[in-house]
Amino acid sequence: MLSLLAQRNAQHLAIKNIRILQSDWFSALAGQQFTMIVSNPPYIDEQDPHLQQGDVRFEPLTAMVAADSGMADIVHIIEQSRNALVSGGFLLLEHGWQQGEAVRQAFILAG
């Protein structure tokens, strides 16, 4: 369903040089390399009080919450992207505003 929506968006925007994959992180990407990876992973700590406010109360927790203060999935993506990006490739990912330093450190540790 998600990949169908992404394909429709790409068609609507007349984007030709895009390949859309839906995967459990990198499981469907073995041996493939990309110029850019864009991800909006779960990055909220399960104790974050914002989970009880506004529209997010109705979202599935699996789409928002990650272990290790919200950093587990981000760190996994950063570590695994090294094998999935071409030299000079880009990894773009969403994270919480308070996680900036931790995300920078994860990139540094991953090389």
- Report pLDDT digits (tens) over 10-57: 999 999 888 887 778 888 888 889 999 999 999 999 999 999 999 989
> What is the helix (H) or strand (E) element at residue 85, kind and residue range?
strand 85-93
Domains belonging to the chain, first-starting first, are: 33-110 (3.40.50.150)
pLDDT at 90 over 90: yes
pLDDT at 71 over 90: yes
As a whole number of angstroms, the distance between CA 93 and CA 77 comes to 9
Mean pLDDT of 96-109: 96
As a whole number of angstroms, the distance between CA 91 and CA 94 comes to 10
Query: % helix / strand / coil in the chain, to the nearest 5?
Result: 50, 15, 35
pLDDT at 2 over 80: no
pTM of the model: 0.81
Q: What is the pLDDT of residue 40?
A: 92
